[in-house]
A = this chain, B = another copy of it.
Amino acid sequence: MLDVRDAVKAALKTQTVETPSWGYGNSGTRFKVFAQPGVPRTPWEKLEDAAKVHEFTGVTPKVSLHIPWDRVDDYTALAAYAAERGLRLGAINSNTFQDDDYRLGSVCHPDAKVRRRAVGHLLECVDIMDATGSTDLKLWFADGTNYPGQDDVVARQDRLAAALAEVYERLGEEQRLLLEYKLFEPAFYTTDVPDWGTSYAHCLKLGPKAQVVVDTGHHAPGTSIEFIVAFLLREGKLGGFDFNSRFYADDDLMVGSSDPFQLFRIMHEVTKNGGLAPAANVAFMLDQCHNIEAKIPAVIRSVMNVQEATAKALLVDLDALAAAQREGDVLAANAALMDAYNTDVRPLLRELREEQGLAPEPLAAYAASGWRERIATERVGGEQAGWGA
């Protein structure tokens, strides 16, 4: 077992989790946004919070930005500010859904002027990537329709394809486009990229620099996300994850809080199929809202949940698993997986952190750090960051 533990720890040391700038700001539902004390007012303050998460977990060196929520005058300065705190700027997330022009869509809008504007924003995001050194452009489109007949499904696909092609052309050598899909919300009848198949089909036509992003909260009930993950890895088309969890719709809860076994099964497909290797270039990103719980500890908890699921996945005895599968022994194969899942990996993770000079318990260490009290005191006045909806 000693060797296995060492191998697991070695693999875990190579994994990083990217946290989202908007996870540190206020969020809510259409019914209410509950503001919290100490919430950042600026992208700079968001980076400070992200640095705290990295300080205590040791595995979150990258931060995703969302434009325009994180718009600043000088992105190079922002990148430098991040670097001073041991961070890098990660994926740039576009936003083509909060402008009054976008009532009926953005890149799929029936009006060419609106589409032009939306594409312009996407190109601006690539400009920002050039300035920040980000390699990933993450595209999620709120485009869709609310009523049957509202617009032409096929025409919208044509517009989407044209917009994506233009953005793809603009990408630099080291940059890629990650296309997200989502079943519904905010559109309630059709969504223009509703499922992985649609995203995959577009990425295939665009070329090797276009890949699919799997947001774990964006599927129909009953969908096997791990199947999609395995399928995309087989095709070389898995760009990364937007991790979060859900009981019903796109609930955006902390990763692993609703179905930790599903998270484990996903990570099992990732680890078994080479997705953890740096060469696979799979981005493990969080995308979640902390509407009622404290934000920084919620991010820390999510990161820990990803780590625990990964550790369990790494513990699976793949030889025993393969042997049972080969023999068609359903119960033994299932047991090989469950043995790893039922293992308590928290001691191993504490050990790993101590080996890396970190406190064994990130949440306790954060609580003891005084940061929560400090930001509650210092960040007074100004406007707290949020979605601006």
| A residues apposed to B, CB below 8 Å | 27-35, 97-98, 100, 102-104, 110-111, 142, 146-154, 157-158, 183-186, 188-191, 194-198, 200-201, 204, 219-224, 226-227, 230-231, 233-235, 246-249, 251, 253-254, 257-262, 265, 268-269, 272-273, 291-294, 297-298, 301, 308, 321-322, 324-326, 328, 330-331, 333-338, 341-344, 346, 363, 387, 389
Q: How many copies does the complex hold?
A: 4
Contacts of A151 in B (CB 8 A): 325, 333
A29 surroundings in chain B (CB, below 8 A): 30, 185-186, 389
Please give, as numbers and ranges, the residues of chain B lying within 8 Å of A204 by CB-CB distance.
Answer: 204
Contacting residues, chain B, for A191 (C-beta < 8 A): 224
28 pairs from A and B in contact (CB 8 Å cutoff)? A28-B30, A29-B185, A30-B30, A31-B185, A31-B186, A146-B251, A146-B291, A148-B334, A151-B325, A152-B325, A153-B231, A154-B234, A154-B273, A184-B247, A184-B251, A189-B258, A190-B226, A191-B224, A197-B201, A220-B221, A220-B222, A220-B223, A222-B248, A257-B334, A260-B261, A260-B341, A292-B330, A308-B342
Cβ-defined contact, A331 with B298, below 8 A: yes
Residue of B with least CB distance to A343: B344
Q: Is the CB of B147 within 8 A of A294?
A: no
A333 is contacted by which of B34, B149, B198, B230 (Cβ under 8 Å)? B149
| A188, B344: Cβ atoms closer than 8 Å | no
A150 and B248 within 8 A (CB): no
Write the chain B residue with the least CB distance to A298: B331
A111 to chain B: which residues have CB within 8 Å? 328
State in angstroms the CA–CA spacing of A219 and B220 once bound together.
Answer: 9
Residues of chain B with a CB closer than 8 A to A251's CB: 146, 184, 188
Report B-chain residues with C-beta under 8 Å of the C-beta of A198: 197, 231
With A30-B387, A147-B254, A154-B233 already in contact, the answer to whether A292 and B259 are too (CB < 8 A) is no
